[in-house]
Amino acid sequence: MNPIKGTIRSGVVHALGPRQAEMIARRYDDVQSALRYRIERSGRRSALELDSLRDIHRGKRCFIIGNGPSLKTMDLSPLRNEVTFGLNRIYLLFDRLGFATTFLVAVNEHVIAQCAGEIAAVQTEKKFVSWHARRYLRDAAGVTYLRSVSRPHFSVDPSAGIWEGATVTYAAMQLAYHMGFKEVLLIGVDHSFVAQGPPHTVVTSTGGDPNHFDPNYFGKGFRWQLPDLETSEYAYRLARDRFEADGRRIMNATVGGRLDVFPRADFTSLFPPTPSRDEAQAAS
């Protein structure tokens, strides 16, 4: 930290107390990042791209695919013709799927820093990545940067900043709302972790990953942050209320899991069987 800036912060902490000083510091950082986002080329371009995505899928449905181990028990082939948001290292599933998700969303800096090359190489319609981690993906094609802010809220205009809500799933929900989707279906959002400890603590995996669909997801040697499920649930309630206020809905089609904020849906019932040729001829 700049010595002068550090001295000023120390004085503010002494005068106002640590909690109020931290709040002011976060607001100050938000204002600074907002200015940079509108000044720097990558930020200006990303803001324009986000504006162009407003309501492009109005009235449609989409799927947000989490990364929980429940995905291992599901037949995901019906998603081939759906609009899908994949999160973080979802691309480890693409070979099994036989197709890529429509979008990729990654906002955690630890994930982006360690997987920047993989993220850059992924072929999706568009990738949404945290602007605060842009140094890892400077010249990557197809990347739209999302600016994160500290104020807890549900953003209806991502170009003005999003709150991460302690989970990339929440970032995807804000994008889905912005694009106009009427119905959002969640799968693989198990909302439970074997690992325990203070939220946001950075840990290094010592073996295979039991918390995700692939043991290599946060495999041995990977640095990641312990989850903050309480904050995530608060964010999910904000998303639920915003969607419902506009006559839209988010439903949880995850197989099992512990997320009870959203109404449940049966995944298989979302895809009515296609009549066979004989059945079609008999009906005609």
Terminal C-alpha separation, the chain: 74
This prediction has a pTM of 0.88
List domains and CATH numbers for the chain.
1-39 (no CATH), 44-268 (3.90.1480)
15-74 tens-digit pLDDT: 556 655 455 656 657 788 888 998 999 999 999 999 999 999 999 999 999 999 999 999
The rounded percent of the chain whose pLDDT value lies above 70 is: 86
Residue 166: per-residue pLDDT: 98
